[in-house]
Every structure is written in C-alpha cells, then in structure tokens.
Amino acid sequence: MNSDHSKTTVLNHMLLDGVYESIGISRNVRKYGEEILKGLKERFDRIDETAEYNQLKVIRAMQENRVSEACLYASSGYGYNDIGRDTLEKVYASVFRTEDALVRPQITCGTHALAVALAGNLRPGDELLSPVGKPYDTLEEVIGIRPSNGSLAEYGVTYRQVDLLPDGSFDYEGIRNAVTDKTRMVTIQRSKGYQTRPTLSVKRIGELIAFLKSIRPDLICMVDNCYGEFVEPAEPSEAGADLIVGSLIKNPGGGLAPAGGYIAGKRQYVENVAYRLTSPGLGKEVGASLGVNQSFYQGFFLAPYVTASALKGAIFAANVYERLGFPVLPNGTESRHDIIQAVTLGSPEAVIAFCRGIQAAAPVDSHVAPEPWAMPGYDSDVIMAAGAFVQGSSIELSADGPIKPPYAVYFQGGLTWAHAKLGILMSLQKLVDAGLASLPAAAGDGEGSPA
Ligand SMILES: *Cc1c(COP(=O)(O)O)cnc(C)c1O
C-alpha cells in the first residue's frame, strides 16, 4: 500500500512538472513557488475550514428554505410569484442572518446596489456619514462628493466623512462630533478597495456599529460588503449592520452569476430599497428572473470554495512577491478580510509584464496581450488583465494597474486555486523572463524534493 502510494505521488509530480513546462512555467519558477507553498500549509488548512463552515451554512439554508427544482426555472414579464427568486432571497437572508434580502439581476453592479440602498433609505434633509474615510471611487458621484447628474446631493442629501486615524484606527471622537440630528445613515466600506488603509474585519465593523448605535440607536448602518463575503465565518450583518450590500460578479456569485447584486438586512430597509429599485407600490413583487435563477443558486452554493481559492491566491501572491523584495499589501502573514492583493512592482515595464502573465494564464483570451490605455475616471493610463467568462468579473482571476508611481498592481480572484496559482506563477515568469525580477538562489537546489 505504502509503496503504491509513493509511486503515485512521484508519478503525479512528473505529470505536474510536464504540464507546467508545456504551459510555459520554467522549472525554477515552479520550484520557487513550491518552496513558498510549503510555508503556507497551515494557513491554507484554516481557509479550508472556513470554507467548509460556510459551505454547510449555505446548504443548510437551501434545505431550510426548501429549495426545489421548480426554483431553478425562469419567469418572464412582471415576474409575479417567481418562486425561485423569492426563495433565493430567503436563502440569502438565512445565510447572512437577516430579516430579508433583495437579490436581483436587475441590479446591474455593485455601485448600483449601493446607490439604491442609499437612495431608498435617505430623504431630502438627511445626512449620510462615512466614518471610515473616503468611499469607493464610483460612490463619489452617487453621493455627490464629485458633482454628478442625479446624485444624492442633488436631492438634498448631505454627506459628512470622518477619516481613519493615521494608524488605521477609528477616530471615535471625530465620529461622535459628526453625528448630528440630521444623520440618518452610515456607510462603512469593509474592503480597502484601492486605498492603502487596512481592510476591516467583521469584528472591527461590529465595534464601530456598537459605538454608533450608542450615540443614536436609530442610525441605519450599511456595510459595503464587496469582496468580503465568505472570507470569514460571519458577515457584518451578524455584527449589527442593518444592511449589507454586494455584487454578484464578486464573491457571492461564485463565478456563475452572469450579473446582479444583493442587499440584505432589516425588512423595512430592504423594502425601501425595493421601492427604489422597481417602483413605489411595486417593490419586491415584480422583476422577472429571466433564467438566471439556476446560476444564482449554483453560484451561491459554490461561493465559499471559490472565495477560498481566491484567498489562497492572494496569500500565495503576497508571499511570492514579498520574498523577492517587492512591497505587498496586505503582507505575507497578516490576517485577511477581503480577497484583494496589492503588489508594488516599481516600474511600468514590471506592471505590464505582471498583467500579461495573468492574461496568459487565463482560460479565455489568453492569446491577447493587454496594453495600458486611458480609461474614464482615471488620471493615468491603466492596464487591465482579465480573461474572464463573465465580463469584468473580479471573482475570476484578474489584475489591473495604473501606470503611475509607485507602479502597483491590484490582483484578485481565481475560481479555482490551481488557476490562481498558475496566474501568479505566470506573472512571475514574465517578470523573470524580462529581467525585472530574479529568483533567490535556491535553497537545496536538488532534484524532486517531496512536497
Ligand atoms: C467593486 C466594488 C464596488 C463597486 O462595484 P462595481 O460592481 O464595480 O460597480 C464598491 N465597493 C467596493 C469596496 C468594491 O470592491
């Protein structure tokens, strides 16, 4: 038995060596990757445990809500009595432990989900507070921080912001002073997005919300949960958030949802959002699911393990590049609360090489070479790598980098761990080939060290 087992292991290693070489990864790059992985085993085990826990939560919710084959069918027209859509919303509410949820293909993206969550619950004269600094770029126009047609500011909703302190902690004094009679709603962004502040853990979000509610119990606390779903065993809705909001082409769509967004939380607030999304008086009752139900269910079912794959990819990338001397954020050892990884590469050539590696590892469009380009909303050229099945999906392996100092790339996703790993090895291969990174002199450069 034992020798059979080790023969199989040797065979698998030879097969792997061969396939990596044939796909364009040199022996040295692969060997370096395996060295890094040896140090990550325990962390990966813990990620698998979280995924297992979250997987069971999702299955239990599907069972409790009696998901049936009929739920997978399409509705058309008004979409009255769409049992699949209504049951899916109950499943989301069960998993996120909220009273209600709105999960719809008519929500076009994460920004739209956040925009309707805000507009549905704010009224003229109300004030919105962000106690964690500047929100995600696209929300600037939603709120009216940058003037825009149809912004909340145009409807008489004002905005106030309290930045994090230099060490990344909450400015409790500043927040207390910022809460006034007008303050109606609070927006808390979990992920750092493309900023350099730390991502917030569910625990820290809970502490912040408890503080806010101690000042004014009736504040509506909303969390922008983008990129955070299933990274931890609990979601911010279990730590006091009244509403959590996210995109289905990120974590909870599991790579299968072709579009969409969700809002989950207190029944009244979710209803307010539904009246805004569809129409006053109609709310959740309308909205045909048009055949997306199966992918929404199946994507949510897969999401815990897809998120785990992306998380492993981010941690692997951090360690691969940190060891080579590139600044990485988060660093190789810190705890994770979202799936985004930043790597500072220091030159335009290196950003381009990295992104071309990610692209070359993709299942779709691997033969195209991304080029930096001027993009609306950016003040420099940007290069983007994405060989995705769903356009713009960032739970799929993807990377982008603005061509300006400090020449950092932001990397996220990977529907399977093996694909995330290949993407990172391919990015490194491109850097090594171009002489922009050099591998450390291999420790024990022998043949076939067993894993
Ligand atoms: C992606 C993201 C958004 C916006 O989502 P889109 O689908 O790109 O509109 C908002 N907030 C955060 C933190 C995000 O990561």
pLDDT, tens digit (0-9, with 9 covering 90-100), for 309-356: 999 999 999 999 999 999 999 999 999 999 999 999 999 999 999 999
What integer pLDDT is reported at residue 14 of this predicted model?
A: 85
Among the listed residues 141, 112, 60, 51, the one whose alpha carbon sits nearest the alpha carbon of residue 260: 112
Q: Is pLDDT of 35 > 80?
A: yes
What integer pLDDT is reported at residue 377 of this predicted model?
A: 64
Rounded average pLDDT over 33-38: 97
Interval between CA 39 and ligand 1 midpoint (Å):
32
Residue to probe by mutation, ligand 1, list 104, 107, 111, most atoms within 8 Å of CB: 111
Interval between CA 324 and ligand 1 midpoint (Å):
30
Interval between CA 93 and ligand 1 midpoint (Å):
21
**Range with the poorest average pLDDT among 62-71, 151-160, 191-200:** 191-200
Query: Using CA positions, which residue lies closest to atom 6 of ligand 1?
Result: 110
d(CA 404, CA 191): 23
Number of other residues whose CB lies within 10 A of the CB of residue 304: 25
Residue 394 Cα: closest atom of ligand 1: 1
In which element (H, E) is residue 100 found?
strand 100-104
Q: What are phi and psi of 277, to 5 degrees?
A: -65, -45
Query: Using CA positions, which residue lies closest to atom 7 of ligand 1?
Result: 110
What integer pLDDT is reported at residue 448 of this predicted model?
A: 38
Rounded average pLDDT over 164-174: 96
Residue to probe by mutation, ligand 1, list 247, 263, 410, most atoms within 8 Å of CB: 247
The answer, as to whether pTM is greater than 0.85, is yes
Indicate left, alpha or beta for 26 from its phi (over 0: left) and psi (-120 to 50: alpha).
beta
Residues 6+ apart with CB under 8 A from 341: 313, 314, 315, 317, 318, 328, 329, 330, 410, 411, 412
Query: Using CA positions, which residue lies closest to atom 15 of ligand 1?
Result: 226
**Range with the poorest average pLDDT among 234-238, 390-394, 446-450:** 446-450
Mean pLDDT rounded to a whole number for the chain: 94
Residue to probe by mutation, ligand 1, list 107, 136, 378, most atoms within 8 Å of CB: 136
Pocket of ligand 1 (CB under 6 A): 109-111, 136, 138, 189, 191, 193, 224, 226-227, 247
Query: Using CA positions, which residue lies closest to atom 8 of ligand 1?
Result: 110
Interval between CA 31 and ligand 1 midpoint (Å):
36
Query: Using CA positions, which residue lies closest to atom 3 of ligand 1?
Result: 110
**Range with the poorest average pLDDT among 14-18, 30-34, 446-450:** 446-450
Among the listed residues 61, 93, 58, the one whose alpha carbon sits nearest the alpha carbon of residue 269: 93
Q: Is pLDDT of 3 > 70?
A: no
What integer pLDDT is reported at residue 450 of this predicted model?
A: 37
Q: Is pLDDT of 38 > 70?
A: yes
Interval between CA 168 and ligand 1 midpoint (Å):
21
What integer pLDDT is reported at residue 446 of this predicted model?
A: 41
Beta-bridge partner residues of 409: 343
What integer pLDDT is reported at residue 443 of this predicted model?
A: 45
| 188-221 pLDDT per residue, tens | 999 988 787 889 999 999 999 999 999 999 999 9
Residue 109 Cα: closest atom of ligand 1: 7
Interval between CA 136 and ligand 1 midpoint (Å):
7
| 365-415 pLDDT per residue, tens | 999 999 999 877 677 899 999 899 999 999 999 999 999 999 999 999 999
Residue 249 Cα: closest atom of ligand 1: 7
Q: Is pLDDT of 445 > 80?
A: no
Interval between CA 68 and ligand 1 midpoint (Å):
32
| 92-128 pLDDT per residue, tens | 999 999 999 999 999 999 999 999 999 999 999 999 9
Contact 309, 283 (CB under 8 A): no
Residue to probe by mutation, ligand 1, list 114, 132, 137, 138, most atoms within 8 Å of CB: 138
Q: What are phi and psi of 279, to 5 degrees?
A: -165, 150
Q: Is pLDDT of 76 > 80?
A: yes
What integer pLDDT is reported at residue 242 of this predicted model?
A: 98
What integer pLDDT is reported at residue 451 of this predicted model?
A: 33
Contact 255, 415 (CB under 8 A): yes
Quickly count helices (H) and strands (E) in the chain. Answer: 12, 13
| DSSP-assigned letters across all residues of 398-451 | EEEEESSTT-EEEEE--SSHHHHHHHHHHHHHHHHHTTS--PPPPTT--S----
Interval between CA 253 and ligand 1 midpoint (Å):
14
Residue 139 Cα: closest atom of ligand 1: 10
Task: DSSP letter for 222, please.
Answer: E
Q: Is pLDDT of 153 > 70?
A: yes
| 399-408 pLDDT per residue, tens | 999 999 999 9
